[in-house]
Homo-oligomer: A and B are copies of this chain.
Amino acid sequence: MAKKPKSDRRIFHNNEDCPVRNVVAQIGDKWSLLILFALVDGSDRFNALKSRIEGISQRMLTQTLRDLEREGYVNRTVYPEVPVRVEYALTELGRDLVKPLYKLVCWADEHQQEIHRARRSYDEKS
């Protein structure tokens, strides 16, 4: 039996059932990964997150947190004190997602040297 022809692979279809496209759509933006990893060690407040994630604007932090909440990765809890306190935490799904993400980040960390070498070699040739 021959293996499936490549063109049959569902993975490349242009719809919301394609897992690869889903991954890119959900965590391929500029800030999602950073926020997820910022919450790995426990819940945190809005402004604390903002100062820990270097370079993020208020607008993008709010927006990305809303997206992550919508996907079910993050919980938002409001404590009606004065002044108000809002805590963000990973859901169980979020903690679970971080596992494969962590593997990926570790991989990238371990292979930084190789990649830098490849880049230099490529740039020299051109």
Measuring CB to CB, which residues of chain A are less than 8 angstroms from any residue of chain B?
Answer: 3, 6-7, 9, 11-14, 17, 19-24, 26-30, 33-34, 37-38, 41, 44, 48, 51-55, 69-72, 93, 96-97, 99-101, 103-109, 111-112, 114-115, 117-119, 122-123
Would you call A6 and B107 a contact (CB within 8 A)? no
Q: Specify which of B7, B111, B119 is in contact with A70 (CB 8 Å cutoff).
A: B119
Q: Specify which of B20, B34, B48, B112 is in contact with A33 (CB 8 Å cutoff).
A: B20
Would you call B122 and A19 a contact (CB within 8 A)? no
Q: Which residues of B contact A70 (CB under 8 A)?
A: 118-119, 122-123
Q: Which residues of B contact A28 (CB under 8 A)?
A: 24, 27-30, 33
